[in-house]
Amino acid sequence: MERAPKSEFFHILRTQQFDRVVLDELCDLTTAIRKFAKTKEGLHYLRGLLAHKRAMLYFTQPSTRTFLSFNNACQILGIQTSEIRDPSTSSEVKGESLLDSLRTFSSYVDVVVMRTKEEGLAESAADLFDHIQRRVPIINAGSGRDQHPTQALLDIYTLERSFKDHGGIDGKTIGMMGDLRRGRTVRSLCYLMKNYRNVRLVFIAPDDFMMEEDIKTHLHQHMVQFTETKDLRSVLPELDAIYITRIQDEHDKAGESGRVDLSPYKFGVEELKHMKPHGVIMHPLPRRDEIHPDVDLDPRAKYWRQERNGMWMRVAIFVKLFKVDHLVMHGHLLD
Ligand code: NCD
């Protein structure tokens, strides 16, 4: 199979596939798209860009933001969508294999976006699609506890934008707190850090939820510095950003999360006082009680902005995937 040039992509399966060139291009594209979206004419222009394309949204694991932002990204670009959110309404109940179902989607649409509880399923689907005549791209919108690459892209965009006047992500110290072991968002984001210069990561979690060895090995191999701690307060003043995640107890085998003392891993108004004035607070959402709602009022709280960025980044992903990026970057509405 012919490989796409490095700054292009076909499937989006895991974040290891991205280099700095693509990351920067996607961020610039997202910013340009946001400019178009500010006017009625700009939105009209975007709506015509991919009106000849159709997408399948196959989301059999719960999702609010990722589903809605992909769906709205399609609407912004004029892409028609079909969806399955409940496998009990598909032919899987008649005994059809998931790969046969996926192959069926490929008969009707130009891209398949999929979120499933199984790890590695997006890869298997991409492998299948690579060997059939009607090869369509697969976008992994969350694969079990393993990866969530498009979330990591919107996280990168949010970090880059938040540090726009402070040199971007390069040289920053980024804390990650919560269920690092089973949180696919932080796992995907860690893989991207090798693309930035002198980033230091600080993992803040109880032993039961500390980052897995595979990620730590990857960071060592790419000389990304990291430290581990259980003491949020002691590291807060040195963090430029903190990325907080919820406990992923849907992956519990026997209620084990409930036995861990999570009280030291919460971020409230008191914690704000110890953060840098230009610090950034992020969360992929949904949150439970790991961030107090009063923190939302602080300008350093970027998670609602991050959520909205998700829609714009997903517009950028489709634009780049279907190779109409030149029509955005050199579009007539931009000066
Ligand atoms: C995350 C996910 O599904 O992994 N949510 C999201 O896509 N924004 C995080 C989570 O569910 O905790």
- Tell me the per-residue pLDDT of 292-309, one tens digit each, with 9 for 90 and over: 999 999 999 999 999 999
pLDDT for 335: 47
H or E segment to which residue 280 belongs: strand 280-282
Does the annotation count 115 as an active-site position?
yes
The Cα–Cα gap between 260 and 181 comes to 14
pTM of the model: 0.96
Does the annotation count 148 as an active-site position?
yes
Q: Which regions in the chain score pLDDT beneath 50?
A: 2, 335
Residue 158 contacts by C-beta under 8 Å, 6 or more apart in sequence? 280, 282, 302, 305, 306, 309
pLDDT for 183: 97
Residue 57 contacts by C-beta under 8 Å, 6 or more apart in sequence? 67, 70, 71, 74, 81, 82, 83, 84, 85, 113
Measuring CA to CA, how many Å separate 174 from each of 6, 55, 301, 325?
Answer: 27, 35, 15, 31
pLDDT for 332: 61
The Cα–Cα gap between 213 and 114 comes to 27
In tens, the pLDDT along 272-295 reads: 999 999 999 999 999 999 999 999
pLDDT for 333: 56
Do residues 296 and 269 lie in contact, with contact meaning Cβ atoms separated by under 8 Å? Answer: no
Helix (H, G, I), strand (E, B) or coil at 117: coil
Residues with CB under 6 A from ligand 1: 65-66, 142, 148, 151, 184-185, 245-246, 284-285
Q: 289 C-alpha vs ligand 1 centroid, how far in Å?
A: 15
In tens, the pLDDT along 14-44 reads: 999 999 999 999 999 999 999 999 999 999 9
Q: What is the largest CA-CA distance in the chain?
A: 58
Does the annotation count 30 as an active-site position?
no
The Cα–Cα gap between 81 and 51 comes to 11
